[in-house]
Amino acid sequence: MHTVIDNTGKIDIETLMRLARDKSVGSRTKLADIIGDLFFGASDTLNDAEQSIMTDILRQLVQDVEVSVRKHLAIQLSNQDQAPHDLVIALANDDSEVAYPLLLRSRVLRDQDLVAIIHHRTVEHQLAVSMHDSISPTVSDSLAKTGEETVIKRLLENPNAEIARDTMAHLVEQSRRLDSLQKPLVHRSDLPGDLAEKMYWWVSAALRSHIVEHFDVDANEIDAAMESAVNTAFGAQGEGDAALSATDRVAKHLAEKQDPDGDLIIRLLRESEITLFERVIEHQTGLRRKLLQRLLYEPGGEGLAIVCRALDLAPEFFREVLTLTRKARVGLDENNINECTFATTFYDQLEVESAKLMLSRWRRNPNYLDLLRQLETLPHVTARPVPRQRSVA
């Protein structure tokens, strides 16, 4: 540790002042390191006058030393509840990479400080504030009024953000034109019931428009399904299930239409309608939701192969479903590509009746992994060993 403490335990102020008068980058960096070590490593031994001198010098140095030094200092200050307020303010208004740790964690910053930073600094500063581990309704309101979609979305995804009803109502209105706000809004536990109902109508209307535009379905039937879903959800099931109920009813309607080539599920995947894709497969197969999700996205792709073969999809359709589901959940890397190759070979060897038999067993028995091992007993199927994992309830 750098030190300017003499044998008697006193700080050599003259040395510090001499370094302060030297305007070179090297001297300023050295001075910041020394004062940082003193301030944070020996704060218990500093008297009030010495602490005041340290703070004043650090504050004056903030804009003179290199970014890496200021960033290091900001990291140290971010965890110090007794850090000097004016020094924290100076660093919190610095470049975003310097300010970030303070805006994310510091409890020294007051609401009025954060509001001023939101109003006068960059989007990067606003994003950092939106992820703070304690956000008051006042700060949330300022973030909501920035109009920055990424900032507002991050705020809504922060469970530690307190959001007042008026602010929430404003954001619900904004979600009419900003689709990205709809999902984080409906997932907030503090969304008032009447605002939730309004949200579900808008989400349902948006889903209806997408389905009518991209799929060959009767618009009147979809309208009836949507209206019934939301009314039922709020009349009987409770607000938390409303959006899910609407999706389920639409998926059931789509699944009942003939789709022998798998065109529907592939189009849903291409349009990134992952939840609707899952619900359609659920209705087509009769499998339980949690089990089906494991089957669709498990490493290796054998479960997906069985599901698709039971639906009698052509091999080229299965390959596209396999690729799109890997992208949807895990992204494609070399391991996933190798797994896709194995799953494709597995699919080519699997008979439709064998796959249907496995599906019927899965419907009756909740233990997915034990049943997956039964692949070895099915005719014309050779499965690689399945590692032991926890069962799916």
What would the DSSP string read from start to end of 6-26? -TTS-B-HHHHHHHHH--SHH
- pLDDT value, residue 332: 47
Query: What average pLDDT does the segment 68-89 reach?
Result: 82
| Average pLDDT score, the chain | 75
Rounded to an integer, what distance in angstroms lies between the CA atom of residue 318 and that of residue 343? Answer: 10
User: For residue 102, what pLDDT is reported?
Assistant: 95
CA distance 123 to 96: 9
d(CA 182, CA 243): 11
| Better-scored residue on pLDDT, 9 or 55 | 55
Cβ 250 vs Cβ 211: under 8 Å: yes
Distances (CA, A) of 62 to 67, 166, 276, 326: 9, 39, 53, 48
Check whether 124 has a pLDDT greater than 90: yes
**284 and 388 assigned to the same domain:** yes
Total domain count for the chain? 4
The reported pTM is: 0.49
**Which residue type is seen at 106?**
S
Alpha-helix runs per DSSP H in 62-192: 67-78, 85-92, 96-105, 111-120, 123-130, 137-144, 149-156, 165-174, 182-186
Among 85-94, 193-202, 231-240, the least confident range: 231-240
CB 27 within 8 A of CB 57: no
> Does 92 share its domain with 122?
no
Looking at the fold, whether 154 and 97 belong to one and the same domain comes out as no
Answer whether residue 386 shows pLDDT above 80.
Answer: no
Is 72 found in the same domain as 49? yes
Query: How big is the chain by its Cα radius of gyration, in Å?
Result: 30
pLDDT for position 157: 92
| Same domain as 381, residue 346 | yes
For helices 334-349 and 302-310, the axis angle rounded to 10 degrees is: 40
Pairwise CA distance, residues 243 & 183, whole Å = 10
* Residue predicted with more confidence, 253 or 37: 253
Residues 276 and 386 placed together within one structural domain of the fold: yes
Residues 340-354 have pLDDT tens digits of 788 898 999 999 999
Asked whether the predicted pLDDT for residue 63 surpasses 50, the reply is yes
Tell me which of 257, 283, 302 is where a domain ends: 257
Same domain flag for 10 and 102: yes
Pair (276, 357) in one structural domain: yes
Of 57, 76, 109, the position where a domain reaches its end is 109
CA distance 174 to 169: 9
Q: Do residues 100 and 121 both lie within one domain?
A: no
| 206-232 confidence digits (pLDDT tens) | 666 666 676 666 666 666 666 666 666
Helices 96-105 and 85-92 pack at an angle, to 10 degrees, of 130
φ/ψ of 191, rounded to 5, equals: -75, 120
Percent of the chain with pLDDT over 90: 23
Of 70, 92, 109, which residue sits at a domain end? 109
pLDDT at 119 over 70: yes
| pLDDT of the residue at 369 | 45
Dist. CA 51–CA 11, nearest whole Å = 11
Q: Which of 128-132, 233-237, 276-280, 355-359 shows the lowest mean pLDDT across its residues?
A: 233-237
State yes or no: pLDDT of 99 exceeds 90. yes
Ranges 143-157, 205-219, 241-255, 271-285, most confident? 143-157
- Determine how many CB atoms are found less than 10 A away from the CB of residue 238: 12
Residue 277, pLDDT > 70, answer yes
- Confidence class of residue 376 from pLDDT cuts 50, 70 and 90? very low
Identify the three-state secondary structure at position 11.
Answer: strand
387 & 279 share domain: yes
Type of residue at 323: T
CB 365 within 8 A of CB 336: no
Q: Looking at the structure, do residues 142 and 239 belong to the same domain, yes or no?
A: no
If phi > 0 it is left, if psi is from -120 to 50 it is alpha, else beta; for residue 297 that is alpha
Query: Is the pLDDT assigned to residue 86 strictly greater than 50?
Result: yes
DSSP-based three-state secondary structure for 231: helix
What pLDDT score was predicted for residue 106? 93
Mark whether 82 and 173 lie in a shared domain: no
- What CA–CA distance (Å, rounded) separates 70 from 87? 11
Residue 142 has pLDDT above 60, yes or no: yes
| pLDDT top residue among 83 and 338 | 83
Q: What is the residue range of 224's domain? A: 192-257
